[in-house]
């Protein structure tokens, strides 16, 4: 993975930069010891590592503003970091950058059930947002699978999704307001507890901007009352085409499940060996979950099962109890872990139109043969967000590069059929150099023009999202 050559001038000024940062932060909030900075050398894309110049852990919006102002004035790149769970390298440092971690910003600032909002500092983890309101029956809907660890700051930066976004939407649909600090230290208040922020939709463009426009320190999030219950049905099919047709028919029938998850045979086999969830051995498996009262769930599942039967499923299993529901989810929820036990893997994240599912699965199989690497598919079928898992051996020279090359080919297929490179993980460094597969230069210029306005010096997370050649003139300016 190519990264820009670190700015030697910045590196040579390390002691002055650290000294300035120590003027505005407590001593223990500035980490410049080389061994200690290693804790920040990578994120969830752990194949790529680089210790930062230093790391800072501010404890307030004002401290974040003071840090950014210093970096602005001293021309030091800043890489914001939530919990460091990005699978795309969004929080990966460069040797000339200050890591700005928001981990100390983890308070709940306000909870209001009448307005159905919670305001939190953004270092708080996704799951602990729900944790703050669940005793009162509420929850925060976006549920990325890293939700135990990932921070709201990172969720906003990447516009994170989750398994339940078919019904509840992704982060951008559940974000009402932010406090954001720009690189020059300006503190912006956008939106709040009211439903639309007014003016241009800056909230919409900040969400998903991968930490390149500012550092979001506080967020007002929409919370919802928990449904009375939820139950899944499991169905197995002879082919992925039939499974895809079944998904389409369910959606067309007017049932809106909260989740529709898909697994193919390689994935079923590995998960079954690992979790022993009692999955049928077949070509394609769907888990469809609906919500409501018991009677409402029964009614919806009956409709779904009627549709499924028209597609001659090899297995159709309705969860009648919480225990049965748990068993249906067991294999799916352990899919990534199960794959990891068997092999090293790379998880892709392209989205495709649901109608293109059979074609894309077929072409992934062809690529699998061509590259000689196995692929398992597990993904959110309702919204077309695929997660092909390419298996490889990290200890064998050249395998990572082969795996990345194959991943790139799969993502090109996703774009070719009308989809996109990334549905919920973000571009980061991982998909940066594929951006011109999906966009024309003029499209990327329009996006980069937005960064020009928020961060004219291009110091915030500058080596991400855009191909280095595309952003070079701006980064050098």
Q: Which of residues 118-177 bind other proteins (CB under 8 A)?
A: 137-138, 158-159, 161, 165-166, 169-170, 172-173
What CA–CA distances, in Å, run from 346 to 108, 357, 400?
A: 35, 20, 9
Question: In whole angstroms, what is the distance from residue 277 CA to residue 326 CA?
Answer: 9
| Contact pick of 11, 109, 148, 195 for other proteins (by CB under 8 A) | 195
Confirm if 378 and 263 have CB atoms less than 8 A apart: yes
Q: Of 258, 336, 267, 344, whose CA–CA distance to 304 is shortest?
A: 258
| 184 alpha-carbon distance from chain centroid | 27
Confirm if 278 and 287 have CB atoms less than 8 A apart: no
| Contact pick of 370, 401, 443, 472 for other proteins (by CB under 8 A) | 443
196 in contact with other proteins (CB under 8 A): yes
310 in contact with other proteins (CB under 8 A): no
| Contact pick of 426, 455, 459, 462 for other proteins (by CB under 8 A) | 426
Sheet holding 117-121, edge to edge: 108-112, 117-121, 215-222, 175-181, 187-191
| Contact pick of 11, 109, 281, 453 for other proteins (by CB under 8 A) | 453
Considering CB under 8 A, how many residues would be counted as binding other proteins? Answer: 96
Residue 325 CB, nearest approach to other proteins (Å): 18
203 in contact with other proteins (CB under 8 A): yes
State residue 318 phi and psi, 5-degree precision: -95, 135
Burial 278-307 (b: 16+ CB within 10 A, else e): ebbebbbbbbbbbbbeeeebeebbeebbeb
Closest CB to other proteins among residues 229, 280: 229
Q: Of 234, 215, 236, 287, whose CA–CA distance to 258 is shortest?
A: 287
Question: In whole angstroms, what is the distance from residue 253 CA to residue 439 CA?
Answer: 35
Closest CB to other proteins among residues 342, 436: 436
Site for other proteins in 50-109 (CB under 8 A): none
Question: In whole angstroms, what is the distance from residue 423 CA to residue 383 CA?
Answer: 9
The DSSP element (H or E) to which 80 belongs, if any, is strand 78-81
DSSP E strand boundaries for 194-283: 215-222, 224-225, 230-237, 259-264
Question: How does DSSP classify residue 87?
Answer: S
Interface segment toward other proteins; rule CB under 8 A; list 21-29, 42-50, 146-154, 196-204: 196-204
Q: Of 323, 250, 326, whose CA–CA distance to 288 is shortest?
A: 250
Closest CB to other proteins among residues 187, 408: 187
263 in contact with other proteins (CB under 8 A): no
Residue 182 CB, nearest approach to other proteins (Å): 8
Q: Across-strand partners of 230?
A: 291
398 in contact with other proteins (CB under 8 A): no
Closest CB to other proteins among residues 225, 276: 225
Interface segment toward other proteins; rule CB under 8 A; list 40-48, 258-266, 271-279, 291-299: 291-299
| Contact pick of 142, 208, 211, 266 for other proteins (by CB under 8 A) | 208
| Contact pick of 9, 23, 135, 440 for other proteins (by CB under 8 A) | 440
452 in contact with other proteins (CB under 8 A): yes
Interface segment toward other proteins; rule CB under 8 A; list 69-77, 98-106, 202-210, 391-399: 202-210
| Contact pick of 261, 289, 318, 424 for other proteins (by CB under 8 A) | 424
Site for other proteins in 216-255 (CB under 8 A): 225-228, 247-249, 251-255
Residue 244 CB, nearest approach to other proteins (Å): 9
Interface segment toward other proteins; rule CB under 8 A; list 121-129, 306-314, 390-398, 417-425: 417-425
| Contact pick of 36, 189, 366, 370 for other proteins (by CB under 8 A) | 189
| Contact pick of 37, 97, 122, 351 for other proteins (by CB under 8 A) | 351
Confirm if 110 and 120 have CB atoms less than 8 A apart: no
Closest CB to other proteins among residues 29, 427: 427
């Amino acid at each position: 993975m190519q990264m820009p050559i670190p700015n030697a001038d910045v590196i040579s000024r390390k002691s002055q930069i650290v000294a300035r940062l120590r003027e505005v932060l407590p001593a223990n909030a500035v980490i410049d010891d080389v061994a200690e900075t290693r804790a920040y050398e990578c994120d969830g894309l752990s194949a790529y590592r680089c210790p930062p110049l230093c790391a800072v852990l501010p404890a307030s919006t004002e401290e974040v503003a003071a840090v950014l102002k210093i970096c602005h004035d001293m021309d030091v790149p800043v890489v914001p970091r939530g919990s460091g769970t990005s699978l795309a390298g969004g929080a990966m440092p460069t040797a000339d950058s200050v890591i700005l971690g928001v981990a100390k910003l983890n308070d709940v600032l306000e909870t209001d059930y009448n307005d159905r909002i919670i305001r939190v500092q953004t270092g708080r983890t996704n799951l602990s947002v729900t944790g703050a309101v669940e005793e009162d029956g509420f929850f925060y809907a976006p549920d990325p699978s890293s939700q135990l660890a990932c921070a709201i700051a990172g969720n906003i930066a990447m516009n994170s999704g989750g398994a339940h976004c078919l019904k509840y939407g992704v982060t951008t649909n559940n974000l009402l307001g932010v406090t954001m600090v720009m690189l020059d230290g300006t503190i912006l208040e956008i939106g709040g507890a009211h439903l639309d922020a007014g003016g241009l939709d800056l909230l919409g463009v900040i969400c998903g901007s991968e930490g390149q426009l500012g550092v979001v320190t506080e967020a007002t999030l929409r919370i919802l009352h928990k449904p009375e219950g939820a139950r899944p049905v499991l169905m197995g099919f002879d082919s992925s085409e039939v499974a895809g047709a079944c998904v389409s028919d369910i959606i067309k029938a007017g049932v809106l499940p909260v989740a529709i998850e898909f697994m193919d045979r390689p994935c079923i086999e590995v998960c079954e060996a690992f979790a022993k969830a009692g999955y049928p051995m077949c070509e394609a498996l769907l888990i469809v979950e609906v919500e409501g009262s018991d009677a409402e769930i029964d009614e919806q599942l009956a409709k779904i099962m009627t549709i499924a039967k028209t597609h001659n499923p090899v297995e159709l299993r309705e969860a009648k109890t919480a225990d049965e529901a748990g068993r249906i989810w067991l294999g799916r929820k352990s899919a990534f872990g199960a794959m990891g036990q068997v092999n090293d893997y790379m998880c892709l994240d392209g989205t495709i139109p649901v109608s293109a599912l059979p074609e894309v699965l077929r072409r992934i199989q062809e690529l699998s043969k061509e590259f000689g690497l196995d692929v398992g598919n597990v993904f959110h079928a309702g919204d077309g967000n695929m997660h092909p898992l390419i298996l490889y051996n990290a200890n064998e020279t050249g395998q990572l590069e082969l795996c990345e090359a194959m991943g790139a080919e799969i993502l090109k297929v996703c774009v070719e059929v009308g989809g996109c490179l990334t549905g919920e993980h973000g571009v980061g460094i991982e998909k940066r150099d594929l951006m011109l597969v999906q966009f024309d230069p003029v499209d990327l210029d329009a996006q980069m023009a937005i960064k020009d306005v928020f961060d004219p010096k291009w110091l915030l997370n500058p080596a991400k999202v855009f191909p280095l050649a595309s952003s070079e003139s701006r980064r050098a300016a």
